[in-house]
Amino acid sequence: MEELRFGIEVEVIADRPIVAQSIGEVVGADVEKIDDETYRVGTWKVERDESIQVPENLQAEVVSPILQMADMELVKRIADTLKGCGARVDESCGIHVHVGIPREDYHCVRILARVMKFIEPLFYTHFQVASKRIPYAEPVSQEFLEKLEELTSVGTQEDFVRNLAGIWYPDANVERAKDRWDQTRYRGLNLHSLLYRGTVEFRYYNSTLEGKLIESYVRASMSIIELARALAKPEEKGVKEIESKAGDQHIQKEMSEKHRETILSKKHR
């Protein structure tokens, strides 16, 4: 399998211009003010995030460009510089990890949703998800999972994506996939992001400025995607039926053998 790429969004409490300037010093880029709420720093951005429960001028979200694991040292340096400029986090702050999935592998979301439903109780406990953040990281619903199980994967990749959109949005309005801020994004496993920009978003994590912990979040997210892709096991590129053996018992076996240590490592705590 090709190396997956990822992106992160780190919510912090700090003055946005100061955050932007600090990042600029690390990446060697000038700060460009887009408006009062948004700053561009090279390929990075600093935006306002109203979900952070502090005064507006201190609501800051750091948005990375597309990254690879080789970029993790840069991420750690930025985390350190954020601490140095006085940024902090509280229970209303989260970190969102985006993992890109090749379009030909979109069908693996059927397994991905089942995997997350299976391990979500562990996830919420292990990562100590703050209660204030639950409304912004809701669990996989049983209703959606049942609809997903019934979703046929016969046809083209475009057919599958359209059918997925039809069950993801409560009103089956697939045009909602064009709206970045659609309300269905507030789920721990955010597939609106997949339909909008081609990335699966994991919204479960509490924010932190500890680089090693951020890395563990990224590795956990990527390991879950890799598990779902491995369980889907299409014989060739394109949409295929998910193998019937990929039930909860098989997921548990695969996790214990290949992924559990990465997903639920003690280093994540």
The strand pairing partners of 33, in sequence order, are 39
Least reliable range by pLDDT among 55-69, 150-164, 231-245, 253-267: 231-245
Q: Are residues 73 and 105 located together in one domain of the fold?
A: no
User: 123 with 247, same domain?
Assistant: yes
Say whether pLDDT at 156 is over 80.
Answer: no
pLDDT in tens, 166-208: 999 988 888 999 999 999 999 999 999 999 999 999 999 999 9
Element of type H or E holding 59:
strand 59-63
Asked if residue 129 is part of any domain, the answer here is: yes
- Give 210-253 pLDDT, tens digit per residue: 999 999 999 999 999 999 988 886 543 333 343 344 455 555 55
Domain count of the chain? 2
For residue 80, what pLDDT band results from cuts at 50, 70 and 90? very high
Residue 252: predicted pLDDT: 59
The answer to whether 268 and 217 are in contact (CB under 8 A) is yes
Quick one: 254 and 226 in the same domain?
Answer: yes
Look up residue 167 and give its amino acid.
I
Please, are residues 96 and 202 in contact by the beta-carbon 8 Å criterion? yes
State whether 133 and 247 are in the same domain. Answer: yes
Structural domain ending residue among the three candidates 88, 106, 123: 88
Q: Are residues 142 and 36 in the same domain?
A: no
Residues 108 and 78 in one domain: no
- pLDDT score for 238: 37
Note whether residue 1 is domain-resident: no
* 211's tokens: 């680089």
Is 221 a domain residue?
yes
Residue 251: what pLDDT? 55
What CATH number corresponds to the domain at position 38? 3.30.70
Cα(219)–Cα(205) distance, rounded to whole angstroms? 12
Same domain, 102 and 229: yes
Structural domain for 67, as ranges: 6-88
Residue 106: inside a domain: yes
* Same domain, residue pair 125 and 257: yes
pLDDT at 188: 96
